[in-house]
Structure 1
Amino acid sequence: MGQRIVVRRVLRGQTGPSGGPAFTDVLGTCLAWDADSCLVERADGEQVRIVLADVVSGKPVPPRPPVRMRVSARDAESHTAALWPTVETAPLGAWVLRHETAPVGRLRKRANSCLAMGEPGRPVPDALAEVAAFYAARDRDPLVQVETGSDVEAAVAAAGWEPLPVGASELWLASVSRVRRALPPSASAPALPVELTGTGPHAIAAAGTGCDPVAEGHAALDRDWVGLHGLAVDPSYRRRGLGAAVVSRLLDWAAEQGALTAWLHVETDNPGGQAFWEALGFAAHHGCRYYAPASSASAGPVSR
């Protein structure tokens, strides 16, 4: 009981398309099972009692993914725009050209690349030519971000662009409330104080007693989604729960603002980070990587 199942049963007194008995399937959660019948609750709340003598077959089915896990890769990635308010965007069909107008420090690939997910509204080689022209006009190397294994990735590769040797990542999602419950009790009473600063939809949580924090993380709200970015802990202060404390402070703030879904990017070559986020209830939604023209992919583009 409690398992999601599908049951095929006979519809007595009815004839099927082939002239034989009629059948129907009932999909839902098994609430009860006894010697005579089973009770199945459909997704809409309707409860169906099925006489076991009418059952033709049945089997368990995987739980239905949460709504947040059913969004498209493009829709999930669109929330990253909230991280950097200085990013200029322009549509290219469903693609989005992104350019950081006032970068601070290193150039970020996500903020200085074309989100190439969905249909660009023209042949992919033509779209890539427009991408190259857009970034050339802004003194940037052309770069596209694609969903790993997608048709767009195959078309970009067929056009002669090559994947960057670094930067492959996965976008992970979780329920804000679930993560807050999964955080250890020590996260609310860290070894060092964690202060929250920020304005509007942006916040920074930092742990430390001096001017230079020893642990820090950033968050940005976009409707009821909150993005976490740049979580870092000084190596000499690791294993003290400061990373969890920073996440706890950011998600407390996000929950107060009405956030329901948390997202972040984890690089594929960071098993430690993956284990940390998985323990808090995050799960990978999709993978993504960057492509550049063959002439610049091996050397690496300006964006890092």
Structure 2
Amino acid sequence: MTPAALSEILDATWPASAVGRSGGFTLRGDGSGGRRVSAATADGAVTEAGLDEAETAMRAEGRAPLFMVREGEIALDVRLAARGYEIAHPTRLIRLDIPLAPPPPGIVHAHWPPLAIQRDLWAAGGVGPDRLAIMARARPPRTSLLARAGQRPAGTAFAALSGRAAMLHALEVAPSVRRRGIGTALVAAAARWAARHGAATLLLLVEAGNTASLALCRRLGASETPAYHYRIAARPG
């Protein structure tokens, strides 16, 4: 997947609250909504003057410069490394062809908007109001997914569509029911929802150190490629 195509899907399914452009970069701003909605991405060829301009614009907003370096953006990576930026959070792109085997009947329900119990599950996993606001900004079609273990809420996730691809975000399984197939059921339910809306592919982004989630996706037959890493300023500007 090209860098531009990946950013198009991310901006559609996990959008920042503010987007601008400076120095040949797209600048995203979203308070505490996380790195994906706060990182700058290159719009094309990168120059030193353009980097200076993008850094200045981010610092003028009172935040440290943060860049997302997508797969294949070697020139940008080299320039940022020369400026002392450090690599952080390398992330893999997971691709699952639709359809998948359906989840067990009744275990997962897709609906919008999320229920209070889903907000509680997300909050317990560190997904707070800022990220819930991101979900609300995503263009339809979008859905939340609630999994149950018996009568107990067991897990939740969010999915949205961009063209023929759906992306699954914020998958959270309650600690007490992990390793019981809840994550697999949520992924399968997301794929079923996406298929109903014309998608051919389900995508996930998983940090390289998240071995449990990567193992789950591999068991489902997913393909896996590098997606991006961040470059974070290592010294005050």
Q: TM-score, normalised by structure 2?
A: 0.77
- Who is 2:116 aligned against? none
**Structure 1 position 130 matched with structure 2 position 56:** no
Residue identity in the other structure for 1:245: A
**Structure 1 position 87 matched with structure 2 position 17:** yes
Q: Distance in 1 between matches of 2:176 and 2:95?
A: 29
- Who is 2:166 aligned against? 226
Pick aligned residue for 2:68 from 121, 142, 145 = 145
Q: Is the 8 A contact 2:19 2:28 kept in 1?
A: yes
Pick aligned residue for 2:97 from 168, 175, 184 = 175
Q: Secondary structure at the match of 1:208?
A: strand
Q: Secondary structure at the match of 2:221?
A: coil
CA RMSD after TM alignment: 2.7
Q: Is the 8 A contact 2:90 2:230 kept in 1?
A: yes
Q: Which runs of 5+ in 1 are unaligned?
A: 1-70, 298-304
Q: Distance in 1 between matches of 2:163 and 2:142?
A: 12
Q: CA deviation at 1:129?
A: 2.1
- Who is 1:22 aligned against? none
- Who is 2:110 aligned against? 196
Q: CA deviation at 1:281?
A: 2.4
Q: CA deviation at 1:296?
A: 5.5
Q: Is the 8 A contact 1:95 1:119 kept in 2?
A: no
Q: CA deviation at 1:188?
A: 2.5
Change in CA separation of 1:287 and 1:117 when aligned onto 2, cut-off 3 Å: farther
Change in CA separation of 1:201 and 1:136 when aligned onto 2, cut-off 3 Å: farther
Q: Is the 8 A contact 1:172 1:284 kept in 2?
A: yes
Residue identity in the other structure for 2:110: L
Residue identity in the other structure for 2:104: S
Q: Is the 8 A contact 1:169 1:288 kept in 2?
A: yes
Q: Secondary structure at the match of 2:216?
A: helix
Deviates more, 1:253-262 or 1:80-89: 80-89
Q: CA deviation at 1:93?
A: 6.8
Residue identity in the other structure for 2:105: A
- Who is 2:229 aligned against? 289
Pick aligned residue for 1:162 from 86, 91, 97 = 86
Deviates more, 1:236-245 or 1:84-93: 84-93
Q: Secondary structure at the match of 1:278?
A: helix
- Who is 1:248 aligned against? 188
Equivalent runs, 1:1-304 vs 2, <5 Å: 71-92=1-22, 95-100=25-30, 106-116=32-42, 118-120=44-46, 123=47, 125-147=48-70, 150-164=74-88, 167-177=89-99, 180=100, 183=101, 187-189=103-105, 193-198=107-112, 200-208=140-148, 213-295=153-235
Residue identity in the other structure for 2:58: Y
Q: CA deviation at 1:157?
A: 0.9
- Who is 1:46 aligned against? none
Q: Secondary structure at the match of 1:214?
A: strand
Q: Distance in 1 between matches of 2:14 and 2:152?
A: 22
Moved over 4 A (4+): 209-212
Change in CA separation of 1:278 and 1:296 when aligned onto 2, cut-off 3 Å: farther
More helix by share: 2
1:147-192 deviations in whole A, cap 9, x for unaligned? 356222112112332223xx22112223222xx1xx4x6x2236xx
Q: Secondary structure at the match of 1:140?
A: coil
Q: Secondary structure at the match of 1:195?
A: strand
Q: Secondary structure at the match of 1:275?
A: helix
Q: Distance in 2 between matches of 1:117 and 1:285?
A: 22
State the number of aligned residues. Answer: 210
Which has the higher relative contact order, 1 or 2, with Cα contacts under 8 A spaced 6 or more apart? 2
Q: Is the 8 A contact 2:166 2:199 kept in 1?
A: yes
Residue identity in the other structure for 1:113: A
Residue identity in the other structure for 1:225: A
